[in-house]
Chain A
Amino acid sequence: MMQVEFLSPYQGQLSALPHQAPLACGNAVALAFCAELSQHLMRDAQYRQYPELVALGFWLRDASIKQWFEMPGGLCKPLGTVLHITPNNVDSMFVYSWICALLMGNHNIVRVSNSDNPVKQQLIAAINGLLVQPQFAELASRNVFVSYARESDVSARLSLLADARVLWGGDASVMAIRALPAKARCRDISFADRWSAALIDANGLQASQLDQLAQALWRDSQPHGQMACSSPRVLFWLGDEQHQPALWDKLAALAAQQDDGLTRANNQLVNQQLLAATGKGQALYRGRIAVSSILAVDEQALDWFCGDGVFYLLPLTQLQDITRHLDEKIQTLSYMGCERDRLLDLLRDPAVRGVDRLVPIGQALDFAPLWDGYDLLSQLCRQVRYV
């Protein structure tokens, strides 16, 4: 008997789940479920304090789905059963890959960590509230949220059932799961350690634009405690530095609008002192947010990053200098004040091994099925070529 706690209304054996009759790619029940979940998250006042859940609701609107949900070419068939291993401290990101798998008609086993994160609990409660309704019975029997201890052998057993594994987590966690035997044709979609950055081209930046910039940057930084792979950690700053102090003040004021945690100030102090002591960075600002200037993106400095209003400022004298900082671990580069096509030209250089997403500041967390370099929709289905 597996030591598994079921967090959703699924009844029966986990090993029986793969044997449920398949649903179609783009099935109407999954689409209806998305619409219902969207309305629930956007209308119910209890979710207002969680911007990541409201954003999820917005993303699941019919109009939004029509924009991003496009069936891959050919004849599409579900893969079968997808095992999702979700991250511990980024509370709701996993739902995006689950929705993609659901829309492609797959059965899903979603392993949720046993930490009692309020955003995650609210989200699972919202999903369960729909799954128990009769019109979603087909989904309730094909999707299960479970929780179990990491050290148990449950991941190993579930791996044997999976036709695809979606692995969120640090590099070590991803490698540990990938080492577990799976079916010969099982696909692994790994979202391993990544970091993200924002680029501010301050040449021509006006004081009147600072409010908008601060709001867009904070929209990207506030959710998930700034610990999502797409949350900006490094700020590349090109040119004129005169507006920096005002921007920090505005960011700090935005941060101060949310509840402050007991550990925040100490974590920021630790971060700034570690950077300063090792000569990797210099504290520029400490208030509700903490900004340190750095000279290079350093693996250890990224390791010491603790989110919750920490920014590493990396000044650039010319735009092309950015390319040497874009290592293979950078996921999202968000930008402001700079033309997208100029950046695309830089990214075209084969020597640039990083950046899977290039979006304006303010959209760093907006999920799209093209994520981390994968097209999740085509990865989570089987495309039949016919002639």
Chain B
Amino acid sequence: MTDLHAQIDELIQTVLPYGEAQGDKRARLLPIFNQLHQHHLQACGDYARLTGDVSAADSLEALPYVAVRLFKHLRLQSIAAGEVFKTLQSSGTTATTPATVVLDKFTAARQSKALVKILQASLGNARLPMLILDSKAVLKDRALFSARGAGIQGLAMFGRDHTYALDENMQPDWPAIDAFAEKYAGQAVLMFGFTFMVWAHVIEALKQANRRLPFENAILLHSGGWKKLIDQQVSDAVFQAGATEWLGTTQVTNFYGMAEQVGSVFVQCSHRHLHTPMCAEIIVRNPFTLAPCAVGETGLLQVLSVIPTSYPGFSLLTEDMGTLLGEDDCPCGWHGRYFSVQGRLPKTEVRGCSDAS
């Protein structure tokens, strides 16, 4: 176990997130994932029962994967009760049942370290003044530590002078925004928010009030589901244009991540492709056969991450559809696989039996 921890930490900390070509990266990842599989087989009875006794996989594709919805129904953990450091509850904007993710201090620490390492490749090392496009109220309820709150806390370390742009009713906190804007007008600032909140509660509100934020060099980092925005015909390009016009951004960077695999996020490059960092991998699977897809094909996204040792979530079949765009050949220069996300599977939660609504 200590050896496995050391290998994972080394991978997260010493290798550049997009530094290794696909073949080398996979050769490095496979033994670690095989050890993770063995670790969870021994530490988590639920995982052992659902995968059966699978011996060492000869490729990442051959590793077992857990359907991500299981975290909504079961508390899957690979640590003793006394080692639980934090329990994360997802609070997706459209999900009905939250997912439960159990963290120990090792997994939690790795999540932060990996996130720093990955985002520094996009944001640089400077800690900029930070406008958080959400409400501080999200953080207050410590009893139910939501993924939204965790996301904000995780990202807060990238900025300073944290200012929340929305009040507890998710309305613009104009005095706070104005004070922040006055203090940092014309300077580089960092903004972070969840995609739908940024659009619906900030960009739309600014539009309505006809007030443009006075920044000349703002970076907007955003993440979260696109479902509601797709319903409103807001694409990545429309979103970017809106942010540039109303928030004064020069860089709009989306990243794809989930509560069930915090830390190993997939960040958009300068060519607006999502990239797999060193500590993670993407496999696209045919939605009908679940067989791995080739470059150019669209299917269900399987996400792999070396981070989770406290819960059996290192290999998850998500309910998101995506397309594998290529390996090692994105014009941005980053190595590894890159892909795009098309959105959630339709109606993924089947109701019980005949349900009148």
Contacts and interface: CB of A to CB of B under 8 A. Distances in A.
B353 A227 contact: yes
Given A85-B356, A150-B356, A262 B50 contact: no
A194 B355 CA distance: 11
Interface stretch (B69-77, B191-199, B238-246, B326-334): B69-77
B80 interface: no
A33 interface: no
B67 interface: yes
A307 interface: yes
A173 B357 contact: yes
* In the complex, the 5 A-B pairs of residues with the closest C-beta atoms, listed nearest first: A169-B356, A87-B354, A277-B46, A173-B356, A277-B50
**Which applies to chain B's interface (DSSP): helix, strand, loop or mixed?**
loop
A113 interface: yes
A193 B353 contact: yes
A264 interface: yes
B353 A88 contact: no
B140 interface: no
A263 B317 contact: no
Contacts of B49: 276-279
B183 interface: no
Give the contact-size bracket for chain A.
Answer: 35 or more
Interface in A291-307: 303-307
Interface string A137-153: 00000000000001000
A262 B287 contact: yes
Contacts of B300: 266
Given A263-B345, A264-B288, A265-B287, 19 more contacts: A85-B356, A87-B355, A89-B351, A93-B354, A115-B357, A168-B356, A173-B355, A191-B354, A194-B353, A229-B354, A262-B288, A262-B321, A262-B345, A265-B290, A266-B287, A270-B67, A270-B69, A273-B66, A277-B49
Given A273-B70, A274-B73, A169 B354 contact: yes
A170 B352 contact: yes
Contact of A150 (B67, B348, B357): B357
A269 B317 contact: yes
Interface string B290-304: 100000000010000
B319 interface: yes
Contact of B350 (A115, A168, A279, A307): A307
7 contacts: A88-B356, A90-B353, A150-B356, A194-B353, A277-B47, A277-B49, A305-B352
A224 to B, nearest CB: 9
Contacts of B169: none
A177 B351 CA distance: 19
Contacts of B355: 87-89, 169-170, 173
Interface residues of B, number: 32
B354 A270 contact: no
Interface string A171-203: 001100100000000000001011100000000
Nearest to B300: A266
Contacts of A278: 46, 49, 74
Nearest to A280: B49
Given A168-B356, A277-B47, A304 B287 contact: no
Interface in B103-154: none
Contacts of B346: 262-263
Contacts of A273: 50, 66-67, 70
B271 interface: no
Interface in B40-95: 46-47, 49-50, 52, 66-67, 69-70, 73-74, 76
A39 interface: no
Interface string B280-322: 0000000111100000000010000000000000000101010
A168 B69 contact: no
A244 interface: no
A260 interface: yes
A173 B353 CA distance: 11
Contacts of A269: 67, 290, 317
Contacts of B288: 260, 262, 264-265
Contact of A265 (B50, B52, B76, B289): B289
Interface string A238-281: 00000000000000000000001011111101100110111100
Contacts of B289: 265
Contact of A88 (B76, B287, B351): B351
B319 A266 contact: yes
A376 interface: no
